[in-house]
């Protein structure tokens, strides 16, 4: 059985972005921290860090944030970047502000372009992140693309061939699946994550992607009820769907 990690309360809360250890001590003294409905005054106390802690601990009357090991499913809106470094609106701005101070940090699992919307995962679990993006896992990503020009009818075979070489690259793309939705709309499923891959694949056929939206990742589908900019935490069951 895996060993349950323990942490000092002040270290734990500080690593979750609530404030410095001194601030946590002050908050506890003022009655701002409860565990199992009782005031927790001694923040040097070590407690087991279990996933049910947010149900048992309150900070300033609010349930504790999720402990490390979370996976967030976001419906990424257009116009936001996935990079920690870029200037301008970033997907991290959608999440609670203190989550920017968490350690381990929350990162996106792969990236979507600024002008791509849809299913985006974020996590603070580095192992999971690497498993999802590892080319060896072949996790399928499905995009809905609206195109500037009608499809020719030959794109499906080309994308499935495993022979398509993108400009400036030395290795052909792995086979990808195309499902035509209309003359100018298609669903494209890829297992790689090359730079601007979907846009470049259609560009290689003489077309141009006008709108791009990710609908699926592995066995996970973006729920209809999750509007652009909304997010939810995934359960363990939902996380395992990624690899199906």
Catalytic machinery residues? 113
- Give me the least distance between CB of 206 and ligand URA, in Å please: 16
Distance spanning both ends of the chain, measured CA to CA: 25
Q: Using CB under 6 A, which of 94, 164, 173, 198 touches ligand URA?
A: 198
Give every CB contact of residue 35 below 8 A, 6+ residues apart in sequence: 47, 56, 57
Looking at residue 237, what DSSP letter applies? Answer: H
Looking at residue 36, what DSSP letter applies? Answer: T
User: Which residues lie across from 232 on neighbouring strands?
Assistant: 73
Q: Return the structure tokens found at 132.
A: 């999802």
Residues in the chain, how many?
244
- Give me the least distance between CB of 168 and ligand URA, in Å please: 14
Residue 113 engages ligand URA in binding (rule: CB under 6 A): yes
Q: Using CB under 6 A, which of 12, 74, 91, 112 touches ligand URA?
A: 112
Query: Which of 71, 112 has the CB closer to ligand URA?
Result: 112
Residue 132 engages ligand URA in binding (rule: CB under 6 A): no
Query: Which of 102, 213 has the CB closer to ligand URA?
Result: 213
Looking at residue 95, what DSSP letter applies? Answer: S
- Give me the least distance between CB of 5 and ligand URA, in Å please: 35
Q: Using CB under 6 A, which of 116, 123, 142, 207 touches ligand URA?
A: 116
- Give me the least distance between CB of 112 and ligand URA, in Å please: 4
Q: Using CB under 6 A, which of 196, 208, 219, 223 touches ligand URA?
A: 196
Q: Which of residues 25-64 bind ligand URA (CB under 6 A)?
A: none
Instruction: Please state, in angstroms and rounded to a whole number, the distance separating the CA atoms of residues 141 and 222.
Output: 12
Instruction: Please state, in angstroms and rounded to a whole number, the distance separating the CA atoms of residues 21 and 58.
Output: 17
- Give me the least distance between CB of 131 and ligand URA, in Å please: 19
CA contacts within 13 A on the Cβ side of 188: 29
Instruction: Please state, in angstroms and rounded to a whole number, the distance separating the CA atoms of residues 47 and 67.
Output: 13
Kindly state the number of chain residues that form the binding site for ligand URA, as judged by CB under 6 A: 8
Residue 199 engages ligand URA in binding (rule: CB under 6 A): yes
Choose the stretch contacting ligand URA; rule: CB under 6 A; options: 31-39, 40-48, 111-119, 228-236: 111-119
> Tokens 């002040």 identify what position?
10
**Residue 157 backbone phi and psi in degrees, to 5:** -65, -40
Instruction: Please state, in angstroms and rounded to a whole number, the distance separating the CA atoms of residues 145 and 214.
Output: 9
Chain residues that interact with ligand URA, rule: CB under 6 A = 112-113, 116, 196-199, 212
């Amino acid at each position: 059985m895996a060993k349950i990690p323990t942490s000092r309360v002040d270290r734990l809360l500080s690593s979750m972005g609530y404030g410095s250890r001194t601030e946590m001590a002050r908050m506890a003294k003022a009655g701002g921290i409860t565990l199992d409905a009782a005031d927790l005054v001694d923040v040097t106390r070590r407690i087991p860090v279990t996933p049910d802690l947010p149900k048992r601990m309150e900070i300033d009357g609010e349930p504790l944030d999720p402990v490390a090991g979370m996976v967030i499913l976001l419906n990424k809106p257009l116009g936001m970047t996935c990079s920690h470094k870029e200037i301008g609106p970033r997907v991290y701005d959608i999440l609670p502000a203190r989550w920017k101070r968490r350690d381990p940090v929350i990162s996106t699992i792969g990236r979507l372009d600024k002008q791509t919307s849809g299913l985006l995962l974020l996590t603070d679990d580095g192992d999971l992140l690497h498993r999802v993006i590892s080319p060896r896992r072949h996790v399928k990503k499905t995009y809905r693309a609206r195109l500037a020009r009608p499809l020719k009818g030959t794109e499906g075979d080309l994308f499935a061939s495993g022979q398509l070489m993108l400009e400036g690259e030395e290795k052909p793309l792995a086979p990808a699946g195309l499902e035509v939705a209309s003359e100018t709309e298609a669903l494209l499923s890829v297992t790689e994550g090359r730079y601007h891959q979907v846009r470049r694949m259609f560009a290689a056929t003489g077309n141009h992607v006008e709108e791009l939206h990710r609908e699926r990742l592995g066995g996970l589908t973006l729920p209809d009820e999750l509007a652009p900019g909304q997010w939810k935490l995934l359960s363990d069951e939902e996380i395992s769907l990624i690899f199906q």
